[in-house]
Chain A
Amino acid sequence: MSGLRILVPVKRVIDYAIKPRINKAQTGVETAGVKHSLNPFDELSIEEAVRLRERKGPIKVEDILALSAGGPKCPDVLRTAMAMGADRAFHIDVPDKGDGGPEPLTIAKMLQAVVKEQNVNLVLLGKQAIDGDQGQTGQMLAGLLGWPQATQASKVDIKDEAGTVEITHEVDGGVETLRAKLPLVITTDLRLNEPRYASLPNIMKAKKKPLEKKTLADLGVEDTRRLKTLKVTEPPPRKGGGKVEDVDGLVSKLKELGAL
């Protein structure tokens, strides 16, 4: 195996520490004026790709390509990915229509095209994006490519120059270790690593790294819809407990509720 050419697809989502709100039309989540950042699972993928390079294993990491599909603000998360250590980035321009973006199958087909075009032999992607929570893209991509896949990885270990990879993932009641040969699709889970901070020197360097803009049409993919969102609603609010002043208040409250 000559070298690892890693593709890391990333998504710009509402910051996970922020409480999302449903829009007035009940068609989705309100995104305007809300803080967005890199999908936490994708952060893990980037970190793992960079660590594979730093670990200096049996196969040298030749290239780390970050990719994101979405509106004009996507380059923000791509710069973050490059500040963390990705070498270059593709921004697939998909105009934001407020419909939650392309479906997983469209994304998988788009990634398939990039894999072929860029001669990628390892795709590291988050197991899901925290906005749509579909958790399908990695699996669909592996299916389209006919490659082996290892999902929800908590450890990735490149064993030899022939491209044997051992992946540990968590299952109910324990861990499962899988072995496969490159090329391979891996989806990442929380325990895989602890993503680094983007350091200032690297943020500066990331500005000079190449960021290429493409469209779905360039990759021969169409944004078709198979699913229709009917309605998005919030779960019913929890009823808070009441507070009483003193014992007398408690007794009268209990009487009122018929408990005494």
Chain B
Amino acid sequence: MSSTRNLTAALRRARVPRPRLAIRPIQSITPFTVRAFSASSTRNSDSRQIKFTSDAYPNLERNPNFAEISADDVAHFKELLGSQSAVIDGVTTDVTDDIEPFNSDWMRKYRGHTRLVLKPQNAQEVSKVLKYCNARKLAVVPQGGNTGLVGGSVPVFDEIVINTSRMNQIRSFDAASGVLVADAGVILETADQYLAEREHLFPLDLGAKGSCHIGGNVSTNAGGLRLLRYGSLHGSVLGLEAVLPDGTIVDALSTLRKNNTGYDIKQLFIGSEGTIGLVTAVSIQCPPRPKAVNVAYFGLESFEQVQQAYLAAKGQLSEILSAFELMDGRSQQLVIQSTGNKHPLEGEYPFYCLVETSGSNAEHDMAKLESFLENVMGDGIVADGVLAQDETQFQALWRWREGITESLSHLGGTYKYDVSIPLSDLYLLVEDCKARLTEKGLVGDDDSFPVRAVVGYGHMGDSNLHLNVAVRQYSKEVEKAIEPWVYEWIQKRQGSISAEHGLGVAKREFIGYSQNDTMVKLMKQLKNLYDPNGIMNPYKYI
């Protein structure tokens, strides 16, 4: 039985070609092969691949107040952390190969100069490390799975990387309340699998779940695919354990849903991107795992109708609605172009939506979903659509949404903007941006135009749009045409220039478009209060 099942699975999977995936590792392997023969060529071949952040942002200068790491410091850390694997020492030894992954991000956009990586195992060790760094004025960068999109988790200069990967224990789970307490370095997917065995669900799901750490998710206030249903981490995180730069361990690891006793200090660590403290453990409220999940995929004629469909979904599916995702026609064409997959719908439409329901009773959910589908079809809101009949189709339909980022990366570079705008204007940004770039003669179908396409997709249910400008090559001309125009556009509508990706290095200069002077001043005051020496994640947005 199982052999046929596997064969079926294997052959079915084979239908979805994943072209060029194999190329990536080969590219990154090449320099290592070179290295084996000639150590001197290493740096050249590496720097050709990823530009140092300090070169890409020439206005960033190393803060002279920070000390340089010495051999004595390294010896101290080695003694402090004990284990050999806890320290990657690039100060007294040559470990270029080992340290490179900690210096650069997965998009290959940002690259730092760190020479020291520390992997403490618990809050006490983090506390000792930070206390020492604070006294010595050594700058640090907290790092989890390093899957961020804005360069917040990699060093810019020689900041010490404090990686959470060795803090990876699940501490407790209470089935009655659904509260999970786990170390910061637990991988999101591992946590979710642990919960799956106990019929619960981690209230966050995102594309990088196989690598990202939950501590990093909390520090960056990650949003993801099911925010619509389970809300933001500001709500589901019940408590935190964090370490301040002076070594103070903040034990706010409460498992209570309600606790109105003064300031809710833990919220400061959620989304502050490691600038005032390092999160070492999280306690989080986990909902029961839905037993029945369904997915429908629609084609629609206008953005007006997308909004109507969303309203109808909210009204008729209400408590079982778990995702409402928007993809424009152009983004789906690019996925077809990149993957070669057959599109689920026959005709072409300017807009597509993916609607997911999660509930506890399959029949009840199906009845609701069917009456919703009948309604939107009957009223002519939706032009065409399909409903996943089995698990395979369910996953295949999700790939049309989740695969956009990957497809774009295969086709060239992408300028990515993750914005939050009032729903009625959500797609207008894409149209305006396209019109602007077309007017400037930058968009076209052949290789003489720098811009391949302007596409929009995102979490409709959260008023969160991903505006992506797919380019054949990065150019100053295109960049100047988009920035700061796009930020001004968003500011005019009181939107957010970063809905879920954060600020990091990428958007450090643009915070003013979404936060007024008072807010920025308050943030700076907090930063100075908790981190007077400014050693936590410097050169980023604050």
Is the Cβ of A80 less than 8 Å from the Cβ of B85? no
In the assembled complex, which residues on chain B have CB atoms less than 8 Å from the CB atom of A33? 291
Is the Cβ of A190 less than 8 Å from the Cβ of B387? no
Most A CB atoms within 10 A — which of B362, B385, B386, B388?
Answer: B386
Q: Give CA–CA (A132, B4) in the complex, Å.
A: 10
Is the Cβ of B374 less than 8 Å from the Cβ of A204? yes
In the assembled complex, which residues on chain B have CB atoms less than 8 Å from the CB atom of A75? none
Q: Give CA–CA (A17, B389) in the complex, Å.
A: 12
Is the Cβ of A15 less than 8 Å from the Cβ of B344? no
Most B CB atoms within 10 A — which of A16, A128, A131, A191?
Answer: A16
Does A35 sit at the interface, judged by CB under 8 A? yes
Is the Cβ of A17 less than 8 Å from the Cβ of B2? no
Most B CB atoms within 10 A — which of A40, A83, A194, A247?
Answer: A40
**Min CB–CB distance B41 → chain A (angstroms):** 27
Does A218 sit at the interface, judged by CB under 8 A? no
Is the Cβ of B344 less than 8 Å from the Cβ of A197? yes
Which chain A residues (81-108) contact chain B, with CB distance < 8 Å?
83
Is the Cβ of A245 less than 8 Å from the Cβ of B384? no
Does A216 sit at the interface, judged by CB under 8 A? no
Does B395 sit at the interface, judged by CB under 8 A? yes
Q: Give CA–CA (A83, B386) in the complex, Å.
A: 10
**Min CB–CB distance B18 → chain A (angstroms):** 16
Name which residue of chain A comes closest to B390, CB basis.
A37
In the complex, which of the residues A131, A200, A245 contacts B296, with contact meaning CB atoms closer than 8 Å? A200
Which chain A residues (160-199) contact chain B, with CB distance < 8 Å?
190-191, 194, 197-199
Which chain B residues (334-377) contact chain A, with CB distance < 8 Å?
342, 344-346, 362, 370, 373-374, 377
Does B84 sit at the interface, judged by CB under 8 A? yes
In the assembled complex, which residues on chain A have CB atoms less than 8 Å from the CB atom of B8? 16, 40, 130, 190
Is the Cβ of A131 less than 8 Å from the Cβ of B386? no
Does B9 sit at the interface, judged by CB under 8 A? yes
Does A256 sit at the interface, judged by CB under 8 A? no
What string of 1s and 0s marks CB contacts (under 8 Å) between B383-404 and chain A?
Answer: 0111111111101000000000
Is the Cβ of B391 less than 8 Å from the Cβ of A15? yes
In the assembled complex, which residues on chain A have CB atoms less than 8 Å from the CB atom of B390? 15-17, 35, 37-38
Does B476 sit at the interface, judged by CB under 8 A? no
Is the Cβ of B84 less than 8 Å from the Cβ of A16? no
Is the Cβ of A17 less than 8 Å from the Cβ of B374? no
**Min CB–CB distance B388 → chain A (angstroms):** 8
Is the Cβ of A200 less than 8 Å from the Cβ of B1? no
Is the Cβ of B4 less than 8 Å from the Cβ of A133? yes
What string of 1s and 0s marks CB contacts (under 8 Å) between A1-41 and chain B?
Answer: 00000000000000111101000000000000101011010
In the assembled complex, which residues on chain A have CB atoms less than 8 Å from the CB atom of B480? none
Does A242 sit at the interface, judged by CB under 8 A? no
Name which residue of chain A comes closest to B382, CB basis.
A200
Does B83 sit at the interface, judged by CB under 8 A? yes
Name which residue of chain A comes closest to B366, CB basis.
A76
**Min CB–CB distance A204 → chain B (angstroms):** 6
Does B5 sit at the interface, judged by CB under 8 A? yes
Is the Cβ of A133 less than 8 Å from the Cβ of B377? no
Does A201 sit at the interface, judged by CB under 8 A? yes
Is the Cβ of B386 less than 8 Å from the Cβ of A245? no
Most A CB atoms within 10 A — which of B1, B291, B296?
Answer: B1
Does B15 sit at the interface, judged by CB under 8 A? yes
Q: Give CA–CA (A246, B83) in the complex, Å.
A: 8
Does B176 sit at the interface, judged by CB under 8 A? no
Is the Cβ of A16 less than 8 Å from the Cβ of B342? no
In the assembled complex, which residues on chain A have CB atoms less than 8 Å from the CB atom of B296? 200
Does A117 sit at the interface, judged by CB under 8 A? no
Is the Cβ of A245 less than 8 Å from the Cβ of B291? no
Is the Cβ of B395 less than 8 Å from the Cβ of A133? no
Contacts A204-B377, A246-B84; A199 near B4 (Cβ below 8 A)? no
Is the Cβ of A198 less than 8 Å from the Cβ of B83? no
Does B492 sit at the interface, judged by CB under 8 A? no
Is the Cβ of B373 less than 8 Å from the Cβ of A203? yes
In the complex, which of the residues B5, B297, B298 contacts A16, with contact meaning CB atoms closer than 8 Å? B5
Contacts A199-B345, A204-B377; A246 near B85 (Cβ below 8 A)? yes
Contacts A16-B8, A204-B374; A198 near B389 (Cβ below 8 A)? yes
- The residues of A with any CB-CB pair to B shorter than 8 Å are 15-18, 20, 33, 35, 37-38, 40, 80, 83, 128, 130-133, 190-191, 194, 197-201, 203-204, 235, 245-248
Additional pairs, 6, CB under 8 Å, beyond known A17-B391, A37-B390: A16-B9, A16-B390, A20-B1, A20-B5, A198-B389, A200-B382
* 7 smallest beta-carbon distances between A and B, as pairs: A17-B391, A37-B390, A197-B386, A246-B85, A200-B385, A15-B391, A246-B84
17 contacts between A and B (CB under 8 A): A16-B12, A17-B391, A17-B392, A35-B390, A35-B391, A37-B390, A132-B1, A190-B8, A190-B12, A197-B344, A197-B345, A197-B389, A198-B387, A200-B296, A200-B382, A203-B370, A203-B373
